[in-house]
Structure 1
Amino acid sequence: MKYSKATNYALHTMVYLASAPAGKTIGVLPLAEFQQISPTYLSKILTKLVKAGYVESTPGVRGGYKLSKNKEDISFLHVIQAIEGNESLFQCGAGHDENAPYCMVECVMSQAEQEMEKYLQQRTIAELVEKSDERILSFVNRVAQ
């Protein structure tokens, strides 16, 4: 299975925001430059995270983004669903009996997906902040406002 690049950037961005000193914001430009992506693209990702309630934005010259929830309360699954949505990864498609009460393959895939979601729900952004290397911490401390 493959998640979109947006999910990759969203998870990394959440770690950077969670690594910032309490109450400090980080602008979209430094976040985009650090990840070597377009600020416009990252803004779209951040908009989804704001709408989901995990990030808040502060307008203005000294504005930027910061977490709106405790990093311990934000799971990988929360971030993934904010970007990808909640739709199942697998669905029986054309060529299969649409009127059958279930698709045997879909049952197996659904169970696997539930196990993966359970695991991702248990893993928090805070766990990665604790493991952040000096490069990340230096960046965050330099750009946080």
Structure 2
Amino acid sequence: MPRKLVGAIIFGDLKNERTNNIDFVLEDQLKFEGETGPYVQYSHARAESILRKASAVDFHTTDKEVDDPAAWETVTALNEFPSVVESACKDFEPSEIAKYSLKLAKAFNKYYAHSKVLVEDDKLGARLALVKSVSIVLKESLNLLGVKAPDEM
């Protein structure tokens, strides 16, 4: 069974609270839009694609100040990651991580749709640092759920 299919099944199951009964429809879980594993995986792959395109840019030494209003939803979501993981562990509730990863993926995709991430200006490094942060956190979120985070889709 392909890795992406397995990931979609795992994510589709774990995004629901463990005490709830669910109607699991495989076709719905394989879609690249909506609250699915492939949507989160695709968001990670999109971030990695942006970073590959900007591979010549050294964003480690640049100003990390993000002044783009569209970025703040993503920054806010990134800041929630440690507390979400802590809560999910305390409550034995992996759905909290799955729901969080969907929230971050949605915020990132909204940011990407409204911002020109790869424009060469004095804020390029900050935008790339944000994309790198999203990539790392989405990958870790998926890994915590036992789902692979592909770099390409």
| TM-score when normalising by structure 2 | 0.26
| TM-score when normalising by structure 1 | 0.27
Quick check: which one's helix share is greater? 2
